[in-house]
Amino acid sequence: MIKVDVLIIGAGAAGLMCAANAGYRGRSVCVLDHANKAGKKILMSGGGRCNFTNTDASPQHFLSANPHFCISALKRYTPYHFMELVDRHGLAYVEKTSGQFFCQHSAKDLLNILLTEADWAGAEIKLNTQINKIDYQDQGALVMTNQGVFDCESLVIATGGLSIPTMGATGFGYEAAKQVGHNILPTRASLVPITLQPERKAQLGLLSGISCDIAAIANGVSFQEPMLFTHRGVSGPAILQITNFWQPGEELTINLIPDMTLDELIKVRQDSPKKGYESVLSAVLPKRVVELIKQQFIWLDQRSAQISNAQVETLFHFLSNFDIAPNGTEGYRTAEVTLGGVDTQEVSSKTFESQKQKGLYFIGEVLDVTGWLGGYNFQWAWSSGYCAGQYV
Ligand SMILES: Cc1cc2nc3c(=O)[nH]c(=O)nc-3n(C[C@H](O)[C@H](O)[C@H](O)COP(=O)(O)OP(=O)(O)OC[C@H]3O[C@@H](n4cnc5c(N)ncnc54)[C@H](O)[C@@H]3O)c2cc1C
């Protein structure tokens, strides 16, 4: 029997953050992970450079059935606290889009900081560890593994969500929560590319690799960012963002000309009668996209003076509600996050302790808290990991 004060299951972003902070408080800490490497998602995130925070992070950038839950932790451990930590370690980073911070060289540099912190705090990390069973006690638990039985006062579940099973994602956290009667809110792959109906996929697949600035709109929420055509469907920031708000079967609007009004488009006829609409569209859309539109609007290369208002109106509606014929998403295989999870109504927003089982804690993505694209999800891992680390 191996006795520790704090046993953390999951050596990802939240688990490592919690390990270091609990260790610095003098608690004996062990982190278990079934993977052969800690922080695999950190390494693959942000195209290998990890968008590790967003200085704009505030509760409105997070989705949860209980939107107040994240407020306290985000206040107690802010993006600036995390920036201060990485500055102390001399991490080289860059701000890409406003507020989004990435490692300048490699996500490995960030993972090394977390591993160094855990090491300095005396936390032990055991990889390749299969968890076979949890026996909850009055306070804490006995955890049966292929590396022996662990007896802990505090058990922290930091096993993340279901996205990218090949990177070690499992539903373990949900099962561990259910075992003591926790409610699990329905889960769904999110921040994920959208797939298209076969015929449309074949047509738009010809544009694979092309990106254009669009507005994606669903359920009253709009993101104006780039969309990328791929050979499987559509991706890019605007599409990933909208999947936090859109589900297959619901209405999704793709506006290819988000900065143009119908009046502006009609005015071209009066202001520049010799100009063709092809050149107007070419100023805001990639050439190959304009060519595709031209297959349907063969008059695009004619002088605008020859075009009627009704024709311009039809073109405007076609572009501002461009039919991509979505039929689903790529699912957990490529999703960045999982929506839903452990119901936060039954977890303390101060300590992250379960209200069902003394000494049991949930942090990070396993909880029903999901951020937008742009560094928010890691910030949630740091904030929840840090805060739980003060109490476990
Ligand atoms: C491709 C990709 C890119 C991303 N890019 C970004 C980004 O740039 N910025 C951002 O903010 N977010 C990004 N995210 C989201 C971010 O990675 C997650 O939100 C974050 O890692 C969640 O942290 P976590 O500690 O809760 O879970 P994880 O980091 O997923 O860690 C969970 C750990 O638990 C372990 N585990 C799971 N099941 C078991 C089990 N049964 N037994 C033992 N161990 C187990 C796993 O092996 C893993 O190490 C990205 C995600 C993906 C998939």
**Amino acid of residue 151:** D
Would you say the CB of residue 9 lies under 6 angstroms from ligand 1?
Answer: yes
| Same-domain pairing of 8 and 119 | yes
| Same-domain pairing of 218 and 349 | no
pLDDT, position 304: 87
> Above 90 in pLDDT, residue 167?
no
Interatomic CA distance for residues 299 and 229, integer angstroms: 25
- Hey, which bits of 251-376 come out as E strands? 253-255, 326-329, 337-342, 360-362, 370-371
> Above 90 in pLDDT, residue 9?
yes
> Which residue has 């540099």 as its token pair?
109
* Helix or strand run (H / E) with residue 54: strand 51-54
Which residue owns the Cα nearest ligand 1 atom 37? 159
217-262 residue pLDDT tens: 999 999 999 999 999 999 999 999 999 999 999 999 999 999 999 9
Q: Answer yes or no: is 376 within a domain.
A: yes
Q: Answer yes or no: is 119 within a domain.
A: yes
| Same-domain pairing of 110 and 230 | no
Over residues 368-376, mean pLDDT = 98
pLDDT, position 139: 85
Would you say the CB of residue 157 lies under 6 angstroms from ligand 1?
Answer: no
- Hey, which bits of 159-302 come out as E strands? 184-190, 194-196, 211-218, 221-229, 233-235, 253-255
| Same-domain pairing of 24 and 161 | yes
**What is the pLDDT confidence band of residue 269, given thresholds at 50, 70 and 90?**
confident
> Above 90 in pLDDT, residue 186?
yes
Domain boundary among 299, 329, 359: 329
DSSP 3-state percent helix, strand, coil across the chain (nearest 5): 40, 25, 35
| Same-domain pairing of 297 and 371 | no
| Same-domain pairing of 228 and 303 | yes
pLDDT, position 16: 98
Q: Answer yes or no: is 69 within a domain.
A: yes
pLDDT, position 98: 86
Q: Answer yes or no: is 334 within a domain.
A: no
pLDDT, position 305: 87
- Which is the closest atom of ligand 1 to the Cα of 40? 49
| Same-domain pairing of 237 and 313 | yes
| pTM for the predicted model, two decimal places | 0.96
Q: Give the number of domains in the chain.
A: 2
Q: Answer yes or no: is 66 within a domain.
A: yes
| Same-domain pairing of 9 and 150 | yes
Q: 168 alpha carbon to ligand 1 midpoint, in Å?
A: 9
141 with 134: CB under 8 angstroms? yes
Would you say the CB of residue 53 lies under 6 angstroms from ligand 1?
Answer: no
Instruction: For residue 248, give its domain range.
Output: 193-329
Count CA atoms within 13 Å of residue 234 on its CB side.
29
**Residue 362: CATH number of its domain:** 3.50.50.60
| Same-domain pairing of 149 and 15 | yes
Q: Answer yes or no: is 93 within a domain.
A: yes
**Residue 320: CATH number of its domain:** 2.40.30.10
Q: 39 alpha carbon to ligand 1 midpoint, in Å?
A: 7
| Same-domain pairing of 22 and 111 | yes
| Same-domain pairing of 144 and 6 | yes
> Which residue has 């003098």 as its token pair?
26
Q: Answer yes or no: is 335 within a domain.
A: no
Would you say the CB of residue 143 lies under 6 angstroms from ligand 1?
Answer: no
**What is the pLDDT confidence band of residue 273, given thresholds at 50, 70 and 90?**
confident
| Same-domain pairing of 122 and 232 | no
